[in-house]
Structure 1
Amino acid sequence: MSEADIPPPDVTPPGRVSAKEEARTPGGDDEIRLGRGLSSKLLFLTILFVMIAEVLIFVPSVSNMRLRWLSDKLATAASASIVVEGFDEMDLPQPVQTDTLMSTGTKAIALRRAGSSRLIASTQVPPTVDMQYDLSDVGPLTAIGDAIGTLVHGSDRIIRVFGPVAGDPGTMIEIVMEERPLKTAMLVYARNVLILSLVISFITAGFVFFAINALLIRPIRRMTANMQAFAEAPDEPARVIRPSTRDDELGQAERHLASMQQELQHTLKEQKNLADLGLAVSKINHDMRNILASAQLISDRLAGVDDPIVQRFAPKLLRTIDRAVSYSNEVLAYGRAREATPKRRWLDLKRLIEDVRDITAVDPAFEIDFVIDMPDGLEVEADSEQLFRVIHNLSRNSVEALKSLEGDAALVKRIRVAARREGSVVTIMVEDTGPGMPAGARANLFKAFRGSTRPGGTGLGLTIARELVLAHGGDLKLVESNSPGTIFAIVLPDQPLPIAAFRNRPKHRLDQDRQQIP
């Protein structure tokens, strides 16, 4: 491939989305079809809710409009009845009656006063009246029911309406009319309300759409695009989102997302370091085993020498080399995120601790005391090699901590390993009089590459030690103490299943265990 064929790098500011990421293939998994996005759903829902609200308002408003229309008809008829005052106890001429009825849109007008009734004007009155309504006392539910009845059945009905005359409560005005004009007026009113509701709905939905789109949809799209970009290259720092200065829920979500992405990048870096470590160990493991095999052959020959000193130290040297060969064979197991299943046997715990003390080989120049404080014959059911590794690791950490106290001969430098049995559980305490564990190490205890207690350490020792103890069904914990130094508690059960109650013991129980150890 020539240089001309190589595409230019995609340089995108941190937290932004590149043009390549925005130009998704149509129909792809990341494409949101028209009408299915949050913006479209928000617009449709806003219109729907406004229309529902208008419908809830529409029914009582139409019933009120009907009452007003009928009241206006009664008022018009009452005004026309004034003409009667000039014709005392006389019938109106037919042309006057016709003009009066035409002006009011009714078929008959009558006045009732003091128990008497007088027909003001009339045409040919139908034989029956279908419905009659009293406007003097109409409840809300009755008004709504009458309005619905008019809209459904008001095409061919004749109705009788009566009510008090305004300004003269003692006089009632009564009219007979067709219901069709009332229904027509109500339908026109309903059409106008519908058009107005639609206009209000679209205007309201538009304002809500643009406001919510600016406040919510765009930030959510930005976060979604960033998560997609981060998923493509999570190891690039430039892919971490830049949180905005918003102080609302979305601003908090952006800050939490940025923190999570940074933590994930840190974890991926640690995993890469661990993978590199496993690769390096695998490269040297083969040669290391050959070297140790040669040392083992030489040690076997030393065992046949008659020198008493050689006879004294040769067995320990052989056990040390055997353990080194075993570690070399099993060291890659941690790189595969597993440890060998414990081969549990009954062990003399004191003798195992003595082997740890001898193999630790504390330099007399440092004046470090190694105290074993436990009863003779205390037995524990565990894998000998794995338990040795756990206690040896904790002891070596204590030695390194005590070496840092050089310069003051008056300081007490002591490693104390104590143990006691409580029922089916053995508790082993490994404590020292060193400077104690730093706060940073406490926060990341038992985490590879983060829980180291000394500069340059990897923190793998405590991580592996806790894995080994957990494989036995027990637990390895740091015991809080007011005294200087560091105290670790190893809790080992005889059987892995019944230990659930012991593994969940609070820290104060561990303090009680430490105080009860002789």
Structure 2
Amino acid sequence: MHPPKQALSINRPRLGLSAKLLFVTVLFVMLAEVLIYLPSIANFRRNWLHDRIAAAQVAALVLEGAPEDGLPEGSENRLLMGVGARAIAARVGGARRLLSLDSMPPPEVSRSVDLRSLGWIGAIEEALAVLVAPATMPIRVVGEAVGGADFVEIVIDEAPLRQAMLTFSGNLLLISLLMTGLTALAVYIALNALIVWPIRRLAANVTAFEAEPENPRRIIEPSLSADEIGEAERALARMQATLADELRTKKHLAELGLAVSKINHDLRNMLAAAQLMSDQLIETRDAKIRRFAPRLIATLGRAIAFCEATLAYGRAAEATPSLRDVPLRLLVAEQAEMLGLGEGKKPRFENRVPAELVLPCDPDQMARVLTNLMRNAIQALTRAGAEAGSEPVLTVTAGIENGSVALRVIDNGPGVPERARANLFQAFRGSVTPGGTGLGLAVAAELVRLHGGAIALEPSATGAVFSVTLPARRATGIDRTPSSVIASAAKQ
């Protein structure tokens, strides 16, 4: 059984930001040293060879002034030993003059180096070749001459050159390591002071604030730094202050809501008892009491409904919808029957939802949405009647629009007052009926949002049109709903 990924990430050894910065600094400094080393070692080799050519130039001057029969015996060996060469040759006046330790011709060479035309790329390549693959035989070096000679060439062993290059490389390595250490230490200290320590302070503050978000002492005190970290500290301080205030406010409201819920619970029981006793007033013989009794009972009913709505809204958040394929026309018909709508009853009800239309939704939650919208329409039509003296009609339509299911609850009543439109779907602020709480529309909007849809009041010439747009299943069941069926249903 494998441990969860989160546990693995927690137990994994963590490389701190300081260590990462130190590692990156050392890496880049060493890379810079490598880039510096290549031209340095090439230049060292060039200078070393130039020194040998310079000594050979002196020998060339000696050869130039020597008599035709050559130098005195022993002078040639001493001259070659001073240069460190096996042979020295110079072209003087078109004739090639040669000094050699051996009486035989100059030995065969492994490679030739012409310092007169040696570029930087070639110098670097040849220097690396000396270190990686040294020559087993002498090498030939050609350079400029002074005086009357055309050029000077020498034949030398490469071993002394390679040894000198290794010594130079070792010294350069020691200096590079020292520079790398000092640079990395300086950068490490600077980055820790400028970045790492302020970030650690931010992280520690966020952790402490997470443990006690309502404690004002946990709010970070921004530094006076004008850089990005200073801006982050000031932004964090503002965010923490706002969040702490919001949490304190929400906690206060939660405690207040709990108290109100308890009061409403007891008040609802008392009002229910008062309503039961008030029902007996209708049977009294006193005409005045019988005239006011229905009003009293209706007022008590509204008070009880307000208490129940407040208790329902104060409960925990709505559950996540459990989606099922629901025939929308049948669901609308069930809610209409529960609300007392039917043939011969007012207002007249028209169900124009296509029978083939299937909606993926939570049937219980969608039933509550329909009940709230249809009840509001019934109350508006019952209270104020229809516009222009026409028959009160409540109509529910639905269809596929732009890949979504569009459901509309339409009435020909007085419409929604302008003062209620701004806060239409906010609890206790968006009531469209006198004495209402506005919780019905707020609950409906919350349930529609849980389904991933939207609810709105559409503009209309008469009455009110509430539209609910919900995601349609991408399967062929809904998409195959013929547009002719929807069009014919809308014309009924």
- Aligned AA (1:430): P
Aligned to 1:344: 370
Aligned to 1:134: 114
For the residues of structure 1 that align with 2:288 and 2:301, how far apart are their CA atoms?
Answer: 20
How far off its partner does 1:200 sit?
Answer: 1.8
Aligned to 1:165: 145
Aligned to 1:510: none
How far off its partner does 1:151 sit?
Answer: 0.8
For the residues of structure 1 that align with 2:310 and 2:265, how far apart are their CA atoms?
Answer: 12
5 Å-filtered alignment, 1:149-160, equals 149-154=129-134, 156-160=136-140
Aligned to 2:70: 91
Q: TM-score, normalised by structure 2?
A: 0.68
Residue 319 and residue 334 in structure 1: after superposition, are their counterparts in 2 closer, same or farther (change >3 A)? same
- Which one of the candidate residues 364, 380, 394 is aligned to 1:353? 380
Decide whether the 8 Å contact of 1:75 with 1:166 is kept in 2: no
Aligned residue for 2:74, secondary structure, equals helix
Residue 466 and residue 167 in structure 1: after superposition, are their counterparts in 2 closer, same or farther (change >3 A)? farther
How far off its partner does 1:177 sit?
Answer: 0.6
Aligned to 1:174: 153
How far off its partner does 1:280 sit?
Answer: 1.0
- Which one of the candidate residues 365, 379, 387 is aligned to 2:394? 379
5 Å-filtered alignment, 1:290-309, equals 290-305=269-284
For the residues of structure 2 that align with 1:194 and 1:141, how far apart are their CA atoms?
Answer: 22
Aligned to 1:227: 206
Provide Cα deviations, 1:370-423, integer angstroms capped at 9, x if missing partner.
x989975242659xxxxxxxxxxxxxxxxxxxxxxxxxxxxxxxxxxxxxxx99
Aligned to 1:466: 442
Decide whether the 8 Å contact of 1:110 with 1:174 is kept in 2: yes
Paired residues, what number? 391
- Aligned AA (2:204): A
How far off its partner does 1:292 sit?
Answer: 1.4
Decide whether the 8 Å contact of 1:132 with 1:159 is kept in 2: yes
Q: TM-score, normalised by structure 1?
A: 0.65
Decide whether the 8 Å contact of 2:369 with 2:447 is kept in 1: no
Decide whether the 8 Å contact of 2:88 with 2:100 is kept in 1: yes
For the residues of structure 2 that align with 1:289 and 1:75, how far apart are their CA atoms?
Answer: 114
Decide whether the 8 Å contact of 1:425 with 1:492 is kept in 2: yes
- Which one of the candidate residues 416, 439, 442 is aligned to 1:429? 416
For the residues of structure 2 that align with 1:211 and 1:308, how far apart are their CA atoms?
Answer: 95
Decide whether the 8 Å contact of 1:243 with 1:258 is kept in 2: yes
Aligned residue for 2:417, secondary structure, equals strand
5 Å-filtered alignment, 1:197-236, equals 197-236=176-215
How far off its partner does 1:464 sit?
Answer: 7.8
Residue 496 and residue 91 in structure 1: after superposition, are their counterparts in 2 closer, same or farther (change >3 A)? closer
Aligned residue for 2:143, secondary structure, equals strand
How far off its partner does 1:250 sit?
Answer: 0.6
For the residues of structure 2 that align with 1:474 and 1:155, how far apart are their CA atoms?
Answer: 84
Residue 432 and residue 334 in structure 1: after superposition, are their counterparts in 2 closer, same or farther (change >3 A)? closer
Aligned to 2:35: 56
Percent identity among equivalent residues?
Answer: 39
For the residues of structure 2 that align with 1:311 and 1:145, how far apart are their CA atoms?
Answer: 116
Aligned residue for 2:279, secondary structure, equals helix
For the residues of structure 1 that align with 2:438 and 2:76, how far apart are their CA atoms?
Answer: 112
For the residues of structure 2 that align with 1:64 and 1:42, how far apart are their CA atoms?
Answer: 33
Aligned to 1:47: 26
For the residues of structure 2 that align with 1:467 and 1:348, how far apart are their CA atoms?
Answer: 13
Residue 255 and residue 348 in structure 1: after superposition, are their counterparts in 2 closer, same or farther (change >3 A)? closer
Q: Does 1:184 align with 2:163?
A: yes
Decide whether the 8 Å contact of 1:154 with 1:179 is kept in 2: yes
Q: For structure 2, list consecutive stretches of 5 or more residues without a partner in the other structure.
A: 1-8, 319-363, 398-405, 431-436, 473-492
For the residues of structure 1 that align with 2:81 and 2:62, how far apart are their CA atoms?
Answer: 14
Aligned residue for 1:199, secondary structure, equals helix
- Which one of the candidate residues 249, 258, 262 is aligned to 2:241? 262
For the residues of structure 1 that align with 2:317 and 2:130, how far apart are their CA atoms?
Answer: 83
- Aligned AA (1:267): E
How far off its partner does 1:116 sit?
Answer: 2.7
Aligned residue for 2:98, secondary structure, equals strand
- Aligned AA (1:469): A
Provide Cα deviations, 1:98-153, integer angstroms capped at 9, x if missing partner.
11111111100000245431103433666421111111112222222211111122
Provide Cα deviations, 1:256-301, integer angstroms capped at 9, x if missing partner.
1111111221221122123212321343244223211212212322
Decide whether the 8 Å contact of 1:380 with 1:494 is kept in 2: no
For the residues of structure 2 that align with 1:114 and 1:134, how far apart are their CA atoms?
Answer: 21
For the residues of structure 2 that align with 1:307 and 1:245, how far apart are their CA atoms?
Answer: 82
Decide whether the 8 Å contact of 2:134 with 2:158 is kept in 1: yes
For the residues of structure 2 that align with 1:374 and 1:173, how far apart are their CA atoms?
Answer: 123
Aligned residue for 1:424, secondary structure, equals strand
Residue 273 and residue 334 in structure 1: after superposition, are their counterparts in 2 closer, same or farther (change >3 A)? farther
Decide whether the 8 Å contact of 1:348 with 1:378 is kept in 2: no
- Which one of the candidate residues 60, 71, 75 is aligned to 2:54? 75
Provide Cα deviations, 1:218-272, integer angstroms capped at 9, x if missing partner.
1111111111221221111111001112222111111111111112212211221
Aligned to 1:368: none
